[in-house]
Amino acid sequence: MWILDSTYRDGCVDLWVKDGGTVQRVRTPYDPPFFARFHDPAACHEMIEALGEQYGAEECTIRTVFGEVPGCAVYAGRAVAEAIERQAQYGVDLYNVDVRKDQRFMAEQGIVPCTGDGEDRFSPLADHGLSLMEVRVRGDPGPSAQGFEIAAEYAGESCRFAGTIPDVLDDFSGHLAACDPDAILMPDGDTLVPRLLSRAEQHGITIPFSRNGKYRGQSSRSYWSYGKMEHKGSALIPDGRILIDTEQSFVYQEGGLSGVLMAARLSGLSPNLAARFTPGTLISSYEIREAVRQGIVVPFRKSEPEQLRTLAALQAADRGGMMFQPVPGTYEDVGEIDFTSLYPSIIAHENLSPETLGHPGCPGFLPAVLRPVLDLRIRTKRQKKNDPRLTGPDAILKWMLVTCFGYTGYRNAKFGRIEVHEAITAAAREILIRTKEIAEEMGYCVLHGIVDSLWVQGAPVGALKERVERELGYPLEAGHFDWIVFLPLADGFGAYNRYYGRLSDGSMRVRGIAARRHDTPPYVKEMQCRMFGTMKRARTIAELETTKVGVGEIYRDAVAGLAAASPKQMTICRQVSRTAYRHRCLEGAAVQAYREQGTEVAAGMRIRYVVEDARRYRAVPVHDATTFDVAFYRMLLERARDEILAAYPSEAPSGRAPARPWGGPGKRTVQKNATLF
């Protein structure tokens, strides 16, 4: 059976099963207990007895990652668990309180969503046979809207519904019911579906987004993640049908439908949830599923304290990732070696887990559950070069494995601990330093290094890759740049994460510059991409010099056509970290413009605006833009041009400058040529 959705309602697990061409709901009563371990059972004996009488609590042995402990199983919900905490004055450890019950049920029964009979759960691709409908709404279906259109594409046929609002809603509702797709792909669906349902209800129309008329609500919230404010919008999730907001779903944008389905298989969640969760939540859900499958309980609130250490020990341990600062300039014939998922590889290789700290010989929970995902990532990264279908699943695996490292240090991670986090970065530093030493021993010149990648000049890097893999035991990928440009910082030193170059297959790799950044206006991004289209024809630095004239013409054409461009091409997309601003700024002006239109902006949300007058701090939402500040956008064009200008030094750099760990003075190899553009 192929499960496309799962829910828990009224004491039952509902599994929506696709069998052949039909989808049916299978309902199973399910009322699992949570577990409690009292620090002083004698002091809480009266409460334990009351729990037995009222909720059928019974003594049992609880299996944690640290070993087995005595406790009791309580057949009640989260409210009772929190009441136990308060009454026991937090002298109790609780487990499996907040594990999703449909996920727990499937893990205990060995059921894997989005997987057919006999299919490997750890396969990056699986035959799903889902019928898909793509839906687009043109216009605003909100309460004050006067009209809108809906376009739907199903089985290769397109339909467009226009006219009065009741006619549009009624016609679309009938079309959706007749097609009955298994999955709906809808840009901004999480925002539009509640509005469409509300308008339909006003006219007595039922739109069957849900197969049984029921929806699960997901509330909006703002939160910090990796030093940045993020925002998750609210949503209505239908029962029995997959609904993916293709515009807001990070998992879908990175991995497509195949990435969403693979994330569901690994995490044990329905595709509806997998599409809306972050990679960190997905890897955490995967760990929770694996724990439940193995009979290991999941802590409600992590209670392991950080070990007591001296200040010197803290200073030595918590130093983050290792980087070698490059000398800015253009370099020819550069090899790159990149460790595949280095941090999770360290977890598996070094057996790092909360319960193995001080006991390295004991099998660790985290290494055991991450190893299959890591092996899958290694396979997909190598195979995607010949099979483009693996690109999406590989991207999701990459993000899940990246965030699994961060979650080891997250204070609320179910199976995390800060000492594990520090041990991982310490090992990574030693690995990069040893890799640099091996490269220099073999006669390579190290140009740049950052955490898990190293750029070198010399002989082909195949021999270096083989020796590093043999000595250090970590898998590597090798690449080659015909030429690469490391950009300077404002002070002249090399930037760690801003570079671009031509790979040996003729494609360009771009990091940290305007063409790569999300907040770059499309007009500016298009100019820089056209420049790269000209530059990538060059295989050598000498040939690159001959592209200066063509690149200069692209810049001049962009400046000349700026005033006549569409305001929408000047859209700036920003993720706001705050909603109140002490000083005047364009982002604050855009937030205020949204508020004046009745749209409340929360921290972490993405807003799209056009700058009408930079000097007067005037910015408007993109759908209201009729004009733009030409001088401001010409400045953005100049900045993007300057990033390209770095590839054309007044004299060819030596290309043999050594990398310097932690910065330090060095020769500036790039000078601006003001007459070039």
Structure tokens that stand for 540 in this block: 């050598």
Span(s) in the chain for CATH 3.30.70: 33-95
Query: Quick check: 321 pLDDT over 60?
Result: yes
pLDDT (0 to 100) of residue 305: 56
Confidence category of residue 673, pLDDT binned at 50, 70, 90:
very low
**Range with the poorest average pLDDT among 193-202, 453-462, 602-611:** 602-611
Under a CB-based contact definition with an 8 Å cutoff, are residues 394 and 384 in contact? Answer: yes
Q: Please give the average per-residue pLDDT across 149-161, as a whole number.
A: 94
Q: Please give the average per-residue pLDDT across 474-481, as a whole number.
A: 93
Query: Quick check: 146 pLDDT over 80?
Result: no
Predicted structure pTM score: 0.86
Region at 20 (left for phi over 0; alpha for psi -120 to 50; beta for the rest): left
Query: Quick check: 637 pLDDT over 50?
Result: yes
DSSP string, 433-502: HHHHHHHHHTTPEEEEEETTEEEEESS-THHHHHHHHHHH---EEEEEEEEEEEEE-TTSSEEEEEEEEE
pLDDT (0 to 100) of residue 621: 92
Four-point Cα dihedral 184, 187, 189, 192, nearest 10 = -130
Q: Is 549 exposed, middle or buried (0-12, 13-18, 19+ CB in 10 A)?
A: exposed
Confidence category of residue 358, pLDDT binned at 50, 70, 90:
confident
First vs last Cα of the chain: how many Å apart? 63
Span(s) in the chain for CATH 3.30.420.10: 131-181+183-240
Confidence category of residue 225, pLDDT binned at 50, 70, 90:
low
Query: Quick check: 317 pLDDT over 90?
Result: no
Share of the chain above pLDDT 90, in %: 72
Under a CB-based contact definition with an 8 Å cutoff, are residues 577 and 229 in contact? Answer: yes
- pLDDT tens sequence across 85-99: 999 999 999 999 999
- pLDDT tens sequence across 597-630: 878 888 888 889 999 999 999 999 998 899 999 9
Structure tokens that stand for 42 in this block: 């004698």
- pLDDT tens sequence across 94-138: 999 999 999 999 999 999 999 887 788 898 887 788 999 999 998
- pLDDT tens sequence across 227-240: 666 777 788 999 99
Say how far apart CA 348 and CA 367 lie, in whole Å. 4
Averaged pLDDT of the chain = 89
Give the SS3 label for residue 612: strand
Count of CB atoms within 10 A of residue 314's CB? 11
Of the segments 201-210, 351-360, 404-413, which one has the largest average pLDDT value? 201-210
Q: Going by CATH, does the domain composed of 131-181+183-240 fall within 3.30.420.10?
A: yes
Task: State the CATH class of domain 33-95.
Answer: alpha beta
Query: Quick check: 648 pLDDT over 50?
Result: yes
Q: Please give the average per-residue pLDDT across 526-540, as a whole number.
A: 96
pLDDT (0 to 100) of residue 548: 93
